[in-house]
Structure 1
Amino acid sequence: MTVPPSEKSFLGHPRGLVICFLTEMWERFSYYGMRGLLLLYLTQHFLFSDERSNVIYGAYIALVYIMSIVGGVLSDKYLGQRKAVTFGAILLVLGHFGMAFEGSGSRETLITSAGNFEVQAEGRDNRRQLFVDYEGETRRVVFDSTQFATLGDERILPVDDAGVGDYQIQRRTRGFIENICALVNLGCAGPEPETVLVLNGERLHVEETDEGMMVERLGQMVPLVERSETDILVLADATTAGQPDTSSPVAVFEHGSYSTVVVQQSLYVNILYISLALIIAGVGFLKPNISTIVGDLYPEGDPRRDGGFTLFYMGINLGSFLATWTCGILGIVYGWAWGFGAAGLGMLFGLIVFQWGQPWLDGKAEPPSPEKLREKVLGVVTIETACYTSALLIVAVSVALLMNAGIVNTLAMITGIGMFVALIGYSIIRLKGAARTRMWAAVYFAIAQIPFWSLFEQAGSSLTLVTSRLVDTNIFGWNVPTPVFQSLNAGFIFLFAPLVAWLWVWLARRGWEPSTPVKFAIGVFGAGLGYLVLVGGMSSVGAAALTPVFFIFAIYWIHTMAELMLSPVGLSAMTKLAPASLVGLFMAAWFVYSGLGNAMSGVIAAAAGAETVGGQIIDVAGAKSNYIQVFSSIGYIGMVIGFLMLLMAPIVKRWMAETHIEERPLSTDSVGHN
């Protein structure tokens, strides 16, 4: 590499790249650390319904990208990138630390003919267990498709209408199977079982000891087969037509015979909304500007630029990968505040690094006109102060939209349609020939990302809930916290992005490299295909059985490969195809349509939601069936859209007028569109 003599460099690159790398790494650490916990936090701590939680999540990630337009415009015209990044980082620190103020959580009460029972919870994620105080005893609540029941603290077997246990025997000891089958009056014919007992979707470790069969519950070994009246495992047997044995200390509530009331702590719910809004505003000021600083570090035509951006985007993936292994584990194992606090601490590190390293930016990213910033507006208020004050407006609008999250998708749709009409109208009225068709191609790519992100962004919503509720996350004896699985995307990026980049080079040398429209089509097709693979895994086991974790690895891998088809060329295509005078507008369009895709992801996830009590699904088989139906539908829809895009690819390629779109191994969108 050729380094200008006057430049202070680090590994052949401007030393400011180190500061941008670390700042962005910590910002993405905070963002993805919080994102990995958010859906579980909404459903289990605040007890929002699945539908409400998913719509809030979709609105949040949509606003993150739409509000970036405001931060980008203000920095370009007035603040400059350095001030905008600093201000955005401050807002992010406040927002993430605000998430750590959780309160004692919402309370849910079961209202039945036998009385009212307040549901108490311990643990998070799939470690979460629910209890009620029944007849002076604390009893664990277990949900089933027809009723839920408790028996003491430990010895539980859910039942169906016929009084038969909803379980799967998966152990090699034939005598154990005979004992269980005798207990529920069933025969023992069937294939040789495997290794565990699965009750209502929960895997239990069973051991044969000198004291008999023991099951591990809540960290203790308790008897599995007890014949005494007080320890009987069958809550309602076939001889009583599903009615509970009143001589046993059992609390049984028929499904549909109860209602629930949730009481939320309004103070902490409002803190949640304000914290999310601060994060939205913070990302809006920081995200579009830190990448601009990286570009400004290199002179025009500098051959080191692409390598610098590749290193910078490695920081994005590194931050995402580390976040789910730290914030995710801390939040699930030790408490929500630990996870969100770690995210806030990460952003604080990023702010400190950026402030300390500003001399390394060598005067780049300064305001375009410092004098302009000091001009007065509205009396004594300067333009700079007005720019910062605009964040209050962003926060207020975001809070209002999050509280009414259902309208965000509609607003994004209206904005997207209006922008489409305006851009196409401009191209017809003001442009001719190749310039017009290239603009059409740019509009096409902006819109073509919508179905991809609406499917891809299920990672933080419906896929998180499915992983937590319906997947066997036990790997080599460790019950892996659900947020950790969101690190798979970043991990696969590290492993496969260089291979994909090499593949394009190898194919290009032979004239076989697919065109940009074909890659987009493959990306959308792959997003749909991933869900059909997951559906296959969910359907391969029983209605109440846990899905093997392999299929979670599979969908994340397929989606990552699909992302590498689509994401690395998206923004590059926009900047190269749009008219020079409209590049800024097309960047805004890219974020608007990204936001629309994210908003739609929340709508899709809401449709896949399940009925819950205390944040736990009450009908495992029914919830699984609904997830399979929704995932099958969006999988086929995604594949059909991808196929239609493939048919359109030759037309779009002609529109591009052979414009060359430069590929990069890692892109600005290399982790869930960053």
Structure 2
Amino acid sequence: MTEQAIDKTGSQEREFLGHPIGLTVCFLTEMWERFSYYGMRALLILFLTKHFLFSAGEASLIYGAYTGLVYMLPVLGGYLADKYLGSRKAVTYGALLLVLGHLSLAFEGPQAVLNGDMVERSEMHVSIFFLSLALIITGVGFLKANISTIVGALYGPNDPRRDGGFSIFYMGINLGSLLATFFVAGIGEIYGWGYGFGLAGIGMLLGLLVFWKYQHLLEGRADPPDPEALKKPVFAGLSTEVIIYLGGVVAVLVMWWLVQNQKMVGSLLGASGVLMVMVVMVYGFTKCTQIERERLIVATILIVFQTVFWALFEQQGSSLTLLADQQFNRDLGLLEVTAAQVQTMNPLFIVILAPLFAWFWLKLSQKGLEPSTPAKFGIAMCLVGIGYILFSYGLGLTDGPGKSFFWLFVIYLFMTMAELCLSPVGLSMITKLSVARLVGMMMGMWFLFTAFANFVAGFLSSLTGTSSHGANSAQLDVGATIDLFNSIGMVAIGIGIILFILTPMMKKWMHGVH
């Protein structure tokens, strides 16, 4: 494709290495934010089972509630940014909360002890731990959807570089994850949980400083929609902006309560998902043209179906990490990796394969052969399903610990290839198919269903363990895990086939958007 053939109408004019220069700011900010998030996530299930001595079942449900809430709050954060704050202010506030949350995790407290069938823990430090999670949840709510929205705002509606830009942005996410899952995970497991969590906090601080110093390069594309109205006093002398920030503090307290009541989280996420679909559909049928409405329908279908993918993908931080700890030989010859460091394979594969996938999609696009977004979703579902079925086969080949690391390699490779077919193009799809006035809400809807998937992931992981206390309470039931992984693998493949069948209809309703 020649330079003249690229339609850059509406895109940011100032460029760096062929893309809008604002992409560099988003890349670095999100890289350090993901460094902190994935570093903490890599340690979380092991910290819960080994430090606080929660059972595998209990720890999995806490993990699922936490990761679910992390992806639920961007619905609210996206709305507040669209209507009031603008993405720049929302991202800055979210980053501040994240720094506080990650650094406070470093105060791990004393090791829990087992007294008969009872676990004795420091309740104060357990409360601090849950408060730290609440700060991170709320911070991600203000940051996550809005940093992605900024990336979309850098490109015009017909700029073919958009998918490549999101792939580059996504590679930044996984570069941060790569560094985190190796260094934060390794330091946390080997030298102490507090050191690992503290390093994650330092990473988030770097992300905040980068965005603060270089936000001018966004050239106003992330500013509030009405800056003057945002500063006017509206209640008790407080401006809308200050009220929103105080509301964020209240949200932290609500999240602190919710993350400790996991069943409530599942009900809330399920009901919120149904309500969000209804709101979008009512809006589409009452205030949109036929083209806008049909595009919203396609976006909604893909958002709902991606729930299955993320429920399988997020086993990395829960059941797959516990399996790596308990069942697999992690001595690779040149080095022996810790259980949490096994998660390094996903971002490592992303960093290696993302440029190849971006190049591959561009070449196919030039020849008119690039699969549509619905077809890519179908490919992703089939790949992740095959990965789980192969892993289940390998898991059952030998009894007891010491299983071949090769099977972990297989499932992470298939999950990564599936991820590259779905996630970068999924984020891009939201910005392209959404009505301009709804893009923040639709991005939030994407994360809401991702949130529900994360909760389901925790629930599925809990089915592989036991809820009893005792010396073996964190051990997984390998037989139950094999049966579960086989079943969810088949479900994923079935959904992939359904998406292939629906692709012609959805492609028509996308009205030229690819």
Q: Structure 1 length normalisation: TM-score?
A: 0.69
Q: Quick one: distance in 1 between partners of 2:474 and 2:441?
A: 48
Q: How many residues align?
A: 507
CA drift of 1:555 comes to 0.2
Instruction: Check the 8 A contact 2:310/2:457 in 1, yes or no.
Output: yes
Of 72, 84, 88 in structure 2, the residue corresponding to residue 82 of structure 1 is: 88
Q: Please tell me whether residue 371 in structure 1 is matched to residue 224 in structure 2.
A: no
Once the two structures are superposed, the pairs formed by residues 519-668 of structure 1 within 5 Å of their partners are: 519-542=376-399, 544-610=400-466, 616=472, 623-657=477-511, 659-661=512-514
Instruction: Check the 8 A contact 2:171/2:354 in 1, yes or no.
Output: no
Q: Quick one: distance in 1 between partners of 2:41 and 2:366?
A: 41
**Higher percent of residues as helix:** 2
Once the two structures are superposed, the pairs formed by residues 258-297 of structure 1 within 5 Å of their partners are: 260-296=117-153
CA drift of 1:426 comes to 5.0
Q: Please tell me whether residue 348 in structure 1 is matched to residue 354 in structure 2.
A: no
CA drift of 1:102 comes to 0.8
CA drift of 1:392 comes to 1.4
CA drift of 1:465 comes to 0.8
CA drift of 1:327 comes to 0.3
Q: Quick one: distance in 2 between partners of 1:615 and 1:367?
A: 54
CA drift of 1:532 comes to 1.2
Of 21, 26, 44 in structure 1, the residue corresponding to residue 27 of structure 2 is: 21
Question: Is the partner of 2:371 in helix, strand or coil?
Answer: coil
Question: Is the partner of 1:529 in helix, strand or coil?
Answer: helix
Q: Quick one: distance in 1 between partners of 2:342 and 2:126?
A: 27
Counterparts in 2 of 1:573 and 1:48: CA distance versus 1, 3 Å: same
For 1:562, give the aligned amino acid: A
CA drift of 1:93 comes to 0.8
Structure 1 gaps of 5+ residues are 111-259, 662-674
Counterparts in 2 of 1:614 and 1:38: CA distance versus 1, 3 Å: farther
Once the two structures are superposed, the pairs formed by residues 118-267 of structure 1 within 5 Å of their partners are: 260-267=117-124
Partner of 1:464: 321
Partner of 2:191: 334
Instruction: Check the 8 A contact 1:47/1:615 in 2, yes or no.
Output: no
Q: Quick one: distance in 1 between partners of 2:18 and 2:293?
A: 41
CA drift of 1:29 comes to 0.5
CA drift of 1:83 comes to 2.4
Once the two structures are superposed, the pairs formed by residues 383-398 of structure 1 within 5 Å of their partners are: 383-398=240-255
Deviations 1:201-221 (Å, cap 9, x if unpaired)? xxxxxxxxxxxxxxxxxxxxx
Q: Quick one: distance in 2 between partners of 1:497 and 1:9?
A: 21
For 1:23, give the aligned amino acid: T
Deviations 1:326-382 (Å, cap 9, x if unpaired)? 101100110000100000011112222223334444455333333323322331322
Question: Is the partner of 2:118 in helix, strand or coil?
Answer: strand
Larger radius of gyration between Structure 1 and Structure 2? 1
Deviations 1:580-614 (Å, cap 9, x if unpaired)? 55444433322221211111111111111246766
Q: Quick one: distance in 2 between partners of 1:536 and 1:521?
A: 23
Question: Is the partner of 2:110 in helix, strand or coil?
Answer: coil
Q: Quick one: distance in 1 between partners of 2:395 and 2:420?
A: 26
For the aligned residue pairs, the C-alpha RMSD in angstroms reads 2.9
Counterparts in 2 of 1:355 and 1:504: CA distance versus 1, 3 Å: closer
Question: Is the partner of 2:114 in helix, strand or coil?
Answer: strand
Instruction: Check the 8 A contact 1:26/1:350 in 2, yes or no.
Output: yes
Of 331, 334, 339 in structure 2, the residue corresponding to residue 482 of structure 1 is: 339
CA drift of 1:495 comes to 2.0
Counterparts in 2 of 1:465 and 1:305: CA distance versus 1, 3 Å: same
Instruction: Check the 8 A contact 1:100/1:340 in 2, yes or no.
Output: yes
Partner of 1:226: none
CA drift of 1:50 comes to 1.3
Instruction: Check the 8 A contact 2:75/2:441 in 1, yes or no.
Output: no
Instruction: Check the 8 A contact 2:58/2:467 in 1, yes or no.
Output: no
Between the aligned residues of both structures, percent identity stands at: 45
Higher relative contact order (CA 8 A, sep 6+): 2
CA drift of 1:642 comes to 2.2
Question: Is the partner of 2:119 in helix, strand or coil?
Answer: strand
Q: Quick one: distance in 2 between partners of 1:360 and 1:577?
A: 26
Once the two structures are superposed, the pairs formed by residues 490-509 of structure 1 within 5 Å of their partners are: 490-507=347-364
Instruction: Check the 8 A contact 2:61/2:462 in 1, yes or no.
Output: yes
Partner of 2:374: 517
Q: Quick one: distance in 2 between partners of 1:454 and 1:36?
A: 16
**Higher percent of residues as strand:** 1
Deviations 1:153-204 (Å, cap 9, x if unpaired)? xxxxxxxxxxxxxxxxxxxxxxxxxxxxxxxxxxxxxxxxxxxxxxxxxxxx
Deviations 1:423-453 (Å, cap 9, x if unpaired)? 4455556667555443332221111111111
Counterparts in 2 of 1:626 and 1:396: CA distance versus 1, 3 Å: same
Partner of 1:188: none
Deviations 1:628-662 (Å, cap 9, x if unpaired)? 122122122222222333333334334434x331x
Instruction: Check the 8 A contact 1:327/1:340 in 2, yes or no.
Output: yes
Counterparts in 2 of 1:279 and 1:530: CA distance versus 1, 3 Å: same
CA drift of 1:487 comes to 1.7
Instruction: Check the 8 A contact 1:44/1:614 in 2, yes or no.
Output: no
Q: Quick one: distance in 1 between partners of 2:406 and 2:358?
A: 26
Q: Quick one: distance in 1 between partners of 2:505 and 2:370?
A: 17
Which shifted more, 554-563 or 17-26? 17-26
Q: Quick one: distance in 2 between partners of 1:329 and 1:520?
A: 34
For 1:267, give the aligned amino acid: M
Once the two structures are superposed, the pairs formed by residues 85-104 of structure 1 within 5 Å of their partners are: 85-104=91-110
Counterparts in 2 of 1:586 and 1:22: CA distance versus 1, 3 Å: closer
Instruction: Check the 8 A contact 1:81/1:367 in 2, yes or no.
Output: yes
Question: Is the partner of 1:105 in helix, strand or coil?
Answer: coil
Instruction: Check the 8 A contact 2:364/2:370 in 1, yes or no.
Output: yes
Q: Quick one: distance in 2 between partners of 1:68 and 1:618?
A: 32
Question: Is the partner of 1:609 in helix, strand or coil?
Answer: coil
